[in-house]
Amino acid sequence: MARTHAQWQDFANTLSIEGRAFIDGQYVAAADGRTFACLNPATGQHLVNISWAGAPEIEQAVSAARRAFDSGKWSTLAPLARGRILKDFALLIREHADELALLETLDAGKPIGDTTAVDVPGAAYCVEWFAEAIDKIGGEVAPVDPKIVGLVTREAIGVVAAIVPWNFPILMASWKFGPALAAGNAVILKPSEKSPLTAIRLAALAKQAGIPDGIFQVLPGAGDVGKALAMHMDIDCVAFTGSTAVGKLIAVDAAQSNLKRVWLELGGKSPNIILPDCPDLARAARSAAGAIFYNMGEMCTAGSRVLVHADIKDAFIAEFSKAAAAYVPADPLDPQSRMGAIIDRVQYDKVLAYIASGISEGAQLLCGGRAAYADAGLFIEPTAFVCPRPDLTICREEIFGPVLSIITFHDIDEAIRIANDTEYGLAAAVWTSDLSTAHRVSRRLRAGTVWVNCYDEGGDMNFPFGGFKQSGNGRDKSLHALEKYSELKSTLIKL
């Protein structure tokens, strides 16, 4: 049965939290004793001190991963056998769903209703999906001279460093380690220092499921740990989700070390285009509110720019204002809460600075614009601006908070020009009643995902996820994700 607000609070008060790194099958503290504090952003409460991995821990983890991979105890297991162990891992994630959801909520300020319904089930589904897929894909027999047998096969790439963000800690991590483990690799997971708790707990569940020591490890720490992994000569691949600025640094580090494979899922400034023949303006407005206020706007795919046709601008704003009123920041442990807390003070101050920028540059404040419960946690009101032009700072830069820019256009060509006028290309949406318009506009939008008459729906593992331009390269999810964690080999046998 679902827990009540009081029951979640009681659970939080009795929860035992692990804060150490997980290396070669066991939890270990940093050799130098260095730690950093993990705080609840909704209350400021100190949760636990987290071990900050240093050079000794990084070397131990990489050595263990290389040793475990080279032994073949995971990489040479039959795909079906690996899949069975990963399905046991997924089952354990489900069995510990409430614990993991609570860790996520306390750590990242996310509403418990979201972590129990989306984040943790989504992570289990991802691991299970790749577990079931890995024994159903094969190689090729190339059409060559009949005196030659030509085989094209895929092999595990080796040691993978997965560096993941703080906004969807367990879900984004699963999108990396799910396919990487399924393909036979050893994984070193580096969670964000802002939200490391679920990654640390997952390590013990992976061992319990039967994943061999050294194959799944967790190194907490800040940017220095990520840089060390990106520079390490014995890591074969880095998969990163985070900001474009950090992604560029990782690419440089990888190039300057051993030219390891680098896969980057980066930022976004996604346009949500409302055409005058929108089939349901009220639904579009509710969807637009969810696209920017869900997860406190801390989403790379956030629909942070609504482009609305001049003919329906006033009607849309009226509907949007009603929809936005449903998002009220509140205690993340309350199952009824739709908005939680901003991840930390740095991000909180950054979002408030962007709001101030919007006001100073002449944008009309439609709703919000202030801190909520300033003395009780890092909460910000859902905020929307009507912008006089599309080149304001809040219209161009990724805010990663609950701040929407509403921009007016007069024809489709102008809408597409504004939509594509960004360094990013992660996601976009268009609302129209005309099927041909939907196809034409979708083709012209430079984005990795385009939704039509919805936003951020259909989050099935069958769809690849990633972006164009400076939103990164490679794809998470779907069978295409396996391409990132394997190498192609051609074998030619003369008969």
Q: Are 127 and 473 in contact (CB under 8 A)?
A: no
**Does residue 281 share a domain with residue 244?**
no
**Does residue 167 share a domain with residue 52?**
yes
Which tokens go with 248? 């560029």
367 in catalytic set: no
Q: Which domain holds residue 49?
A: 5-264
**Does residue 371 share a domain with residue 324?**
yes
**Does residue 249 share a domain with residue 353?**
no
Among 264, 281, 297, where does a domain finish?
A: 264
193 in catalytic set: no
Distance of alpha carbon 221 from alpha carbon 163, whole angstroms = 11
Distance of alpha carbon 195 from alpha carbon 235, whole angstroms = 24
Convert the pLDDT of each residue in 108-155 to its tens digit: 999 999 999 999 999 999 999 999 999 999 999 999 999 999 999 999
**Does residue 423 share a domain with residue 291?**
yes
**Does residue 65 share a domain with residue 102?**
yes
**Does residue 243 share a domain with residue 287?**
no
**Does residue 312 share a domain with residue 259?**
no
- What is the average pLDDT across 94-119? 98
Given 38, 300, 387, 395, the catalytic residue: 300
Helix axis angle, 435-444 relative to 412-420, nearest 10°? 30
**Does residue 294 share a domain with residue 345?**
yes
Phi, psi of 147 (to 5 degrees): -85, 0
Distance of alpha carbon 168 from alpha carbon 192, whole angstroms = 10
User: Across all residues in the chain, what is the average pLDDT?
Assistant: 97
Among 216, 246, 264, where does a domain finish?
A: 264
**Does residue 280 share a domain with residue 254?**
no
Within-domain flag for 201: yes
Q: Amino acid letter at 79?
A: P
Q: What is the pLDDT of residue 402?
A: 98
Convert the pLDDT of each residue in 136-147 to its tens digit: 999 999 999 999
**Does residue 256 share a domain with residue 329?**
no
Q: Are 62 and 159 in contact (CB under 8 A)?
A: yes
When divided into structural domains, the chain yields a total of 2
Convert the pLDDT of each residue in 158-194 to its tens digit: 999 999 999 999 999 999 999 999 999 999 999 999 9
If 0-12 CB within 10 Å is exposed, 13-18 middle and 19+ buried, where does residue 229 land? buried
Share of the chain above pLDDT 90, in %: 98
Among 206, 230, 264, where does a domain finish?
A: 264
Within-domain flag for 474: no
Residue 199: which CATH number? Answer: 3.40.605.10
Given 265, 298, 381, 398, the catalytic residue: 265
**Does residue 392 share a domain with residue 247?**
no
Within-domain flag for 482: no
